């Protein structure tokens, strides 16, 4: 499916979804409230069939005090991509877990939790995955500092 077709297909499922600008492939921003339902339908809708969660990560837009959670979906049936994103506030980053839809989300979400501090509701085992269990802070947040960090090059 072409980019605009995909976007309109998603908007048919979720009217509140708006296309995300400046992404090199079909991308939408969806509201957090009905996110899980949207994702479930994206996975199961016969025209869409996004059966693979390619990657999931977050972007810390510190200036706007929000974390943008990015889900890159892929369909091995129709061979198309879709980037779905949702924004959660930085200080209260809570997101429904996609673990029931794509098992891989369990670990991808653990990684995002580990590095960004997003809390996933309904996640069976939300622990740190890459860092030590007693690590303080969430390193990929832009305001993260610790004693060992060097200044970036000018």
Partner 1 sequence: MSAIVTTLEQRIGRGATTQEFFVNMGPQHPSTHGVLRLVLKLEGETVKDVIPVLGYVHRGVEKMGEHLSYRQFVHLTDRLDYLSALANNWAVAKAVEKAAGIETNERIETIRTLVAELQRIASHQLWWGVFGMDLGAFTPFLYGFRDRERITDILEETIGARLTMNYIQPGGVMFDLHPDFQRKVKEFIAYFRPKLEEYETLLSRNIIAQERMRGVGVLEAAQAVALGATGPVLRASGVAHDLRKSEPYGVYGKVEFDVPVGARGDCWDRYWVRIEEIRQSLRIIEQLIENIPEGKHLLVKPAVRTKVPEGITYSQVETARGVFGVLLVSDGKDVPYRIHVRTPNFNNLWAITRIAPGWRVADLVTMISSLDIVVPDIDR
Partner 2 sequence: MDVSRMNPIVAPPLRRSGFFADIVAGLRSLLQGMGITFRYFSHPSTVVTQQYPENRATLKMFDRYRMRLSLPHDENGFHKCTACRICEQACPNGSINVVSRKGAVTGKTELDRYIWRMDSCTFCNACVMACPFSCLKMNGDFECSVFDKSLLVFNLTRYAGPTSTVLMKVENPEERRKLWEPRDVYSGPLPLRGTELPGGGKTLGKPEEPARSET
103 close to 92: Cβ distance less than 8 angstroms: no
What is the x/- site pattern for partner 1, positions 45-84, by CB under 8 A? ------xxxxx-x-xx---------x-x---x--x-x-x-
Compute the least distance from the CB of residue 11 to partner 1, in Å.
19
Q: How far is CA 49 from CA 21, 72, 77, 82, 144, in A?
A: 23, 13, 7, 11, 38
Residues within window 23-52 making contact with partner 1, judged by CB under 8 A: 23-25, 27, 51-52
Contacting residues toward partner 2, per CB under 8 A: 79, 150, 153-154
Compute the least distance from the CB of residue 83 to partner 1, in Å.
7
Closest to 121 (Cα-Cα) out of 51, 36, 39, 50? 36
Considering beta carbons, is residue 15 or 133 the nearer one to partner 1? 133
Compute the least distance from the CB of residue 2 to partner 2, in Å.
13
Structure tokens at 2: 């072409």
CA distance 28 to 7: 7
Compute the least distance from the CB of residue 7 to partner 1, in Å.
15
Give 28: exposed, middle or buried? Use CB within 10 Å, 0-12, 13-18, 19+: buried
Residues at the interface with partner 1 (CB under 8 A): 20-25, 27, 51-55, 57, 59-60, 70, 72, 76, 79, 81, 83, 102-104, 106-108, 111, 115, 128-132, 139-140, 152-153
């Amino acid at each position: 499916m072409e980019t605009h077709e995909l976007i309109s297909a998603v908007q048919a499922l979720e009217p509140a979804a708006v296309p995300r600008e400046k992404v090199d492939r079909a991308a939408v921003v969806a509201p957090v409230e009905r996110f899980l339902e949207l994702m479930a339908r994206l996975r199961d809708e016969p025209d869409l069939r996004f059966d693979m969660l390619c990657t999931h990560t977050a972007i810390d837009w510190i200036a706007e005090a929000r974390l943008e959670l990015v889900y890159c979906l892929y369909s091995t049936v129709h061979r198309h991509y879709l980037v779905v994103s949702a924004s959660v506030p930085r200080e209260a980053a809570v997101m429904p877990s996609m673990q029931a839809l794509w098992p891989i989300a369990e670990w991808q979400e653990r990684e995002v939790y580990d590095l960004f501090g997003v809390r996933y509701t309904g996640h069976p085992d939300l622990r740190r995955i890459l860092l030590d269990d007693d690590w303080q802070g969430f390193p990929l947040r832009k305001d993260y500092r610790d004693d060992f960090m060097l200044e970036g090059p000018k």
